[in-house]
């Protein structure tokens, strides 16, 4: 994004499942805990404020749900510990029993901290999509054991 004043994350993937199944895997914390989060305090519902715990972090992320349109989109605000609140939008579109998932997160200034945020969260959302696809299509939890620091080699 040469010359851009503000940075925005955009990722997407096709998942070979019906849109409603993909939607439920995103809004239901019990399903999400099988592929992405360690635990969630509640279902993503418009106006709800919930928390997500990830296996690799010692803190919880607060998620304030903005808009939900069943089988179409989910949007929420959240922040990491050192950053401002950002808007995440997840859009779903179905064609022939398959679902395309688009995620955007916006926005931060085009600065060193903004570029670091963009790199980390782009990686995080790409990981989310890969984990969602692996779980829904093949029943595989890609994150299981991935963040067990006692098993990681020294660098």
Q: Taking 90 as the threshold, does the pLDDT of residue 80 lie above it? A: no
- Between CA 73 and CA 115 the distance in angstroms is 26
What per-residue confidence (pLDDT) applies to 84?
87
In a domain? residue 147: no
Q: What is the CATH number of the domain that holds 102?
A: 3.30.530.20
* Among 87, 37, 42, 96, residue whose Cα is nearest residue 66: 87
In a domain? residue 150: no
Phi-psi region of 50 (alpha: psi -120 to 50; beta: other; left: phi over 0): beta
In a domain? residue 155: no
Q: Taking 90 as the threshold, does the pLDDT of residue 25 lie above it? A: yes
Q: What is the pTM of this model?
A: 0.89
What per-residue confidence (pLDDT) applies to 1?
46
In a domain? residue 151: no
Counted domains in the chain: 1
Q: Which domain holds residue 21?
A: 7-140
In a domain? residue 146: no
């Amino acid at each position: 994004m040469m010359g851009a004043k503000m940075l925005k994350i955009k990722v997407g993937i096709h998942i070979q499942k019906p849109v409603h199944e993909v939607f439920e895997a995103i809004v239901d914390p019990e399903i999400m805990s099988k592929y992405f989060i360690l635990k969630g305090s509640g279902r993503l519902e418009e106006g709800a404020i919930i928390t997500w715990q990830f296996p690799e972090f010692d803190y919880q992320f607060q998620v304030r749900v903005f808009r939900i349109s069943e089988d179409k989109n989910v949007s929420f605000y959240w922040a990491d510990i050192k950053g401002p609140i950002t808007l995440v939008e997840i859009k779903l579109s179905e064609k022939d029993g398959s679902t395309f998932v688009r995620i955007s997160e916006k926005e931060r200034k085009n600065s060193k901290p903004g570029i670091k945020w963009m790199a980390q969260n782009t990686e995080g959302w790409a990981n989310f999509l890969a984990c969602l696809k692996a779980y829904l299509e093949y029943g595989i939890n890609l994150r299981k054991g991935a963040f067990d620091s006692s098993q990681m080699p020294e660098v």
